Amino acid sequence: MEHSVQESLQTVHDFLAGRIVTGDRLPFSNELLQRAEASGVILKKQGVIKKDGKWHCQRCHCPDASAYVTFNCAKCNQRCAYCRHCIQMGRVASCDELLLWGGDDLYEAKLHTFHWQGQLTDAQSRVTNELVESVKQKKARLIHAVCGAGKTEILFESMAVALNEGWRVCVATPRTDVVLELFPRFQRVFPDTDIHALYGGADVKPSFSPLIVTTTHQLYRFEESFDIVFVDEADAFPYSYDRSLQLAVQKAVKKDGAIMYVTATPTSAQRIKATRNDAYSFIPRRFHGF
């Protein structure tokens, strides 16, 4: 089937917009990629570069020199380096290319059906309102939700607000099982929205998704993509929110976007900083006695 140039660009945009990926696993044909390249809408970055005398991975931005391995590269016959830190996403070396969308934003915002009739407790309502305000202003917020507080439903309204602004929204968690649990809940709440669930081994869908629920690791494949990222720390013990995952989240959010952290165990430094910025919400355990 012949596609018009515009259709081809739309197809490439829908997958590539907001992502930074290697060219080997694209959900469209090479021919479409070449067409997009000829139209000048594909940006390319080297996988690993030398920056201030140090190796730097352009996918995960890992700052640790020990993450980089140099080797005699059979592909380019030179001394290349690859990044060990994000190698589970497929190896990326200095002579490999990462692809990004460099064309116009072709996402046509639409209204999203928001379908939820559950009941919030007073504490959940208060935090929901605080979160909605922060999302509207694209201002970071720390949600301290103790275990059993019912933290997922406090996200719904602010997600709806962001989606209906035409924004791209991400819910990120370190754990695949949490992605698998959240995905059907979000599908019920936003029944007309094309939601993608991303985790290691998940099918790659070619469409543009305004709402992505993903493991934090998969965010290495995104760059300046989301207006709002909700980070659900998932109360995983002994999980600690390591610096490299923080970097993954930070690079996935747009420059004018904001990150909302949901955690059961904020550090005191996080709490003090958020309180100072008037961006701290606390939600206690729900009362289950009725």
Stretch that binds Zn ion, among 2-10, 75-83, 186-194, 244-252 (CB under 5 A): 75-83
* 179 touches Zn ion (CB under 5 A): no
Single out the residue of 9, 20, 42, 80 in contact with Zn ion (rule: CB under 5 A). Answer: 80
* 85 touches Zn ion (CB under 5 A): yes
Hey, what are 72's tokens? Answer: 């005699």
Single out the residue of 40, 65, 75, 238 in contact with Zn ion (rule: CB under 5 A). Answer: 75
Least Å distance between CB 141 and Zn ion?
29
Single out the residue of 83, 140, 212, 279 in contact with Zn ion (rule: CB under 5 A). Answer: 83
Least Å distance between CB 206 and Zn ion?
24
C-alpha distances in angstroms, 271 versus 22, 142, 247, 263, 266?
A: 38, 8, 20, 11, 6
Give the residue from 195, 173, 178 showing the smallest Cα distance to 112: 195
C-alpha distances in angstroms, 158 versus 67, 69, 88, 101?
A: 38, 43, 33, 28
How is 175-242 classified by DSSP, letter by letter?
-HHHHHHHHHHHHHHSTTS-EEEE-TT-----S--SEEEEEGGGGGGBSS-EEEEEEE-TT-SS----
- Site size for Zn ion (CB under 5 A): 12
Stretch that binds Zn ion, among 88-96, 100-108, 169-177, 208-216 (CB under 5 A): 88-96
- The Cα–Cα gap between 66 and 59 comes to 16
SS3 (DSSP) at 286: coil
Nearer to Zn ion by Cβ, of 76 and 180: the residue is 76
Least Å distance between CB 9 and Zn ion?
29
Hey, what are 93's tokens? Answer: 């070396």
**What is the side-by-side strand order in the sheet with 141-145?**
195-198, 211-215, 169-173, 226-232, 253-263, 141-145, 280-283
* 76 touches Zn ion (CB under 5 A): yes
Single-letter residue type at 51 = K
Least Å distance between CB 90 and Zn ion?
10
* 162 touches Zn ion (CB under 5 A): no
* 69 touches Zn ion (CB under 5 A): no
Least Å distance between CB 216 and Zn ion?
14
* 73 touches Zn ion (CB under 5 A): yes
Which residues ranging from 31 to 60 are in contact with Zn ion (CB under 5 A)? 57, 59-60
Hey, what are 142's tokens? Answer: 């720390």
* 95 touches Zn ion (CB under 5 A): yes
Nearer to Zn ion by Cβ, of 41 and 60: the residue is 60
Which parts of this chain interact with Zn ion (CB under 5 A)? 57, 59-60, 62, 73, 75-76, 80, 83, 85-86, 95
